[in-house]
Amino acid sequence: MKYREEIRGTVANIVRNEIGKAEASKIIKTESQKLTIEDQLKFNEVVAIELMGLPEGSYVRYRIKPSEFTA
């Protein structure tokens, strides 16, 4: 998957900092602007989908400590 590290970092940042939906959308948009125009929409979609369906067992995948995870 393209931009795997960027997706992982964005998801982890939002979870670790317990960022709400509105602020998370802003962060996702800001992070996507670092990518090529062609990839920005897909990046936004992937990060949003990952956050919505984030199971508790995703600690390792997103390098989040169990104590940081608040689903």
Q: pLDDT tens-digit profile of 41-58?
A: 999 999 999 888 877 666
Reported pTM: 0.80
Say which DSSP state 33 is in. T
CA-based end-to-end distance of the chain: 24
pLDDT band at residue 59 under the 50/70/90 scheme: low
